[in-house]
Amino acid sequence: MKRGFSVEWYKHLSTDAERKEFEALVRNDTQVLSRLRDILVERLRGIEIEEMSLASYENPSWSHKQAHLNGVKSGLAKTLALLDFLK
């Protein structure tokens, strides 16, 4: 498979032919996947802005909120990594 294309996309397939066919299918849908990537980047930026807000420190459960935001950021980053081949 080509560089930048995560094995997670095709690990459910058993033959090399199936993998190549599926990779071509995913790579050819760049319009939808590029839009998905843009949406995920927007969400990540929104979280980063929220994290830096002074108002967020006024929350008595700030540490729990920060832990939650860290988890969301981690999930977004992992999902964005699946779309690295779009770069």
First to last CA, the chain: 16
**What is the pTM for the complete model shown?**
0.82
Q: 5 pLDDT band (50/70/90 cuts)? A: confident
Largest CA distance in the chain: 56
Task: Give the model's pLDDT for residue 2.
Answer: 54
Residue 2 lies in a domain: no
Distances (CA, A) of 27 to 8, 40, 56: 14, 18, 40
Look at residue 19 and tell me if it is in a domain: yes
Confirm whether 38 is domain-assigned.
Answer: yes
> Which class for 81: exposed (0-12), middle (13-18), buried (19 or more C-beta within 10 A)?
exposed
Cβ–Cβ < 8 Å for 87, 9? no
55-87 pLDDT, tens per residue?
888 989 999 999 999 999 999 999 999 999 997
Domain that holds residue 17: 7-86
Instruction: Decide if 16 is inside a domain.
Output: yes
Total structural domains within the chain: 1
Residue 1 falls inside a structural domain = no
Residue 3 scores a pLDDT above 70: no
Per-residue pLDDT reduced to its tens digit, 8-23: 999 999 999 999 999 9
**Residue 76, domain member (yes or no):** yes
